[in-house]
A and B are shown apart, each in its own frame.
Chain A
Amino acid sequence: MEKKVGRKKIKQEKQRHDPDDDNNPRNTSSSRYSDTSGLKDYVFHQIIPSFMYIWKHDQEKSYKHVDVPKSSAKNNMDPNDFISHLPDDILHHIISLLPFKSAVRTSFLSTHWKHLWKEALLDSVHDVITIEAAITAITSFVDDFDTRHRPRNKWGLIFELGHGRGSLVASISSNSSLKLDFSAGKQEFPMPFDLFLKMNIAPPNRLSRRYMFDWLLEENHPSQSEQPPSNTMRVKSLHLISVSHLSNMAVSSLVPKLPFLRSLTIAKCNGLQSLQIKEAKGLRKLVVLDCPHLQSLSFEGSSLKSFRYRGNLVSFRFRGKCNCFPLIRFCECGLLLDDAMIDIRQGALTQWTWDFEIETPFSRGLRKGNHCDCANKYKCFNSILRSIKDVQSLTMCRWFYETTMCKKLPFSSRCPKYYLSVLELWWIDCSMERESINALLCFLKLCPNLKRLNITVSLPFL
């Protein structure tokens, strides 16, 4: 079929160009058929270009660039929106020119853009089946990653694990942050699991003068070895998203390999029932968001500066253990949070506690005097207050404040036991009725240094 059409086109062209150009070798057509060299010429100059013409314009699918859809309605795209109509190759190129964060943000533009950044910036790996193998591949990828010399278009790996294990997207950004997104598809009733992370993090400032005697008390740490730290060890910030019962073991084995971790984010882990983090001496920031089945959270570490939590109110248990030499009074250990976000507008489970203890040698003797006489010392607002009293940026829900009020609270004319040093307060409420405002005003009495107040009124999530 093609040849026929080709021949027709040739005839048309001949007719068009004959009168124009006498120097055109094509015009001497009749003599060309008599010898093979002429035939070759004929083939090269006549048929093949025509084939190319047909190939490129009639079979648009084989022509890689001409990909403009005729009707944009099928994709729900605005006809004025030319950029989304561009072929994927070009969009990938544009995305690879952007800094990593901007590139990830493009996924929020529209459904068409949702997965483009992954295709553009992540290497696809198909021959890895288990999650453990994937983690090994990720650590070797991170070790080989060199932000200076590497072509900037591959920032991570995407693994398609078969057998219902979903996919794992691993990406690194330039500030030493590793993000692992295990999405195993939607599960109606996710299997419950516990996540136990033994962090093995080196405490900060090991060589500062205050800790001169500290090394005597410390356990052997792998970073004390002679080898320079590999890239994997240098990861400062880890994001774990959608960890499930399939991946929790792998995650637990990855975590001790990151001795310099400063920030940990755990989000959207359906099925996660309890989270225990131990030996996290150097961890500065902990973020736990949107884990709907979480019941308890336990943290042991001594340098936490920022804690953010969103979800149900669960049993919190924080222990800040400090191993400093007993004579040092003002060590920097302890859970002296600068920034705390406790967004629990979703409500509470029936059993919850707030157990926040900082054990420093200095305060050991004084500890007993700090507890109030409430029936339940783990739900007492005073102890909660004590734990957040140095927080400078605080996010809090009104009902949490109300629920935890014990009798000795600032409704009375006496001065409250603790004033907060909050500079910036984010207050979450579900209405601005009289009662809500009263509660807010009571709380504000505890914050004499407040400079900025933000109020969010939102309906509780169902």
Chain B
Amino acid sequence: MLLSKNSALESKDNEIFEVEESIAIQSELIKTMTTMVNSKAYVNERNQMVPEARCRKQANYHVEQNNKIVDEELSDWESKFFEVDMDDLHELFMAANYLEIESLLNGVTKRVGDFIKACKNVEVIRQTFGINNDFAAQQEEEIRKLNSWNHI
């Protein structure tokens, strides 16, 4: 791929990543900017909010994704890539959200969905994600009843 241009992306921690342009434009945000500007250096300062770790992950993700041709390998690699703990998942989410990378976002949402599916009941979900239960006691009662209507 000698003809493809490399974009230099600068992260919040001022680290510069060189990625192929074809990978960089998977991010909608970067794509919009590059199509407008048609210049590689211009893109740098836009990444003010993305800390380094995320950016590296993005770069890795895309590079790997584009390198894997076989579907099986890709899905294996993807499942390993997303087997991270909550904090990392949070980071990936924020990054995918900010940079608007659809495939990454899909991967992360699927992972969160799998987490929720695996939880046996509401309490476990709350503990896994750290969700605060702010229902009043009466609402809890209503919910308990509602639960019985749904599941009996």
Contacts and interface: CB of A to CB of B under 8 A. Distances in A.
Q: Do A and B come from one complex?
A: yes
Interface of A: 17, 20-21, 24-26, 44-45, 48-49, 52-53, 65-66, 68, 76-78, 80-84, 86-87, 90, 93-94, 97-99, 101-102, 104-106, 108-111, 113, 179, 239, 241, 265, 267-268, 287, 289-290, 308, 310
Contacts of A78: 130-132
Interface in B121-152: 121-122, 125-126, 129-135, 139, 143, 145-152
A77 B130 CA distance: 9
Given A45-B36, A268-B149, A289-B145, A80 B130 contact: yes
B57 to A, nearest CB: 16
A110 B109 contact: no
Given A24-B41, A45-B38, A108-B143, A90 B149 contact: no
Interface of B: 32-33, 36-39, 41-42, 46, 86, 90, 93-94, 97-98, 100, 105, 109-110, 112-113, 116-117, 121-122, 125-126, 129-135, 139, 143, 145-152
A98 B116 contact: yes
Nearest to A16: B45
A49 B112 contact: no
B2 to A, nearest CB: 19
Contact of B109 (A24, A80, A97, A241): A97
Given A86-B93, A267-B149, A268-B149, 11 more contacts: A45-B36, A65-B98, A76-B134, A77-B131, A81-B130, A83-B129, A84-B129, A90-B93, A102-B116, A104-B150, A108-B147
A355 to B, nearest CB: 24
Contacts of B37: 45, 49
B120 to A, nearest CB: 10
A262 B38 CA distance: 65
Contacts of B133: 109-110
Contact of A308 (B94, B125, B152): B152
Nearest to A179: B150
B38 A84 contact: no
Contacts of B132: 76-78, 81, 110
Q: Which 10 A-B pairs have the closest CB atoms?
A: A97-B113, A82-B90, A78-B132, A267-B149, A81-B130, A76-B134, A80-B130, A108-B122, A83-B129, A49-B36
A241 B149 contact: yes
Nearest to B134: A76
A11 B33 CA distance: 18
17 contacts: A20-B41, A21-B41, A24-B39, A45-B38, A52-B36, A66-B98, A76-B134, A77-B132, A81-B129, A98-B116, A98-B117, A99-B117, A101-B150, A109-B126, A109-B133, A265-B149, A290-B145
Contacts of A77: 131-132, 134
Contacts of A268: 145, 149
B41 A17 contact: yes
Contacts of B134: 76-77, 110-111
A259 to B, nearest CB: 23
Nearest to B132: A78
B17 to A, nearest CB: 18
Nearest to B39: A24
A97 B42 contact: no
B48 to A, nearest CB: 9
Contacts of A241: 149
B27 to A, nearest CB: 12
A460 B106 CA distance: 48
B135 A49 contact: no
A285 to B, nearest CB: 9
B126 to A, nearest CB: 6
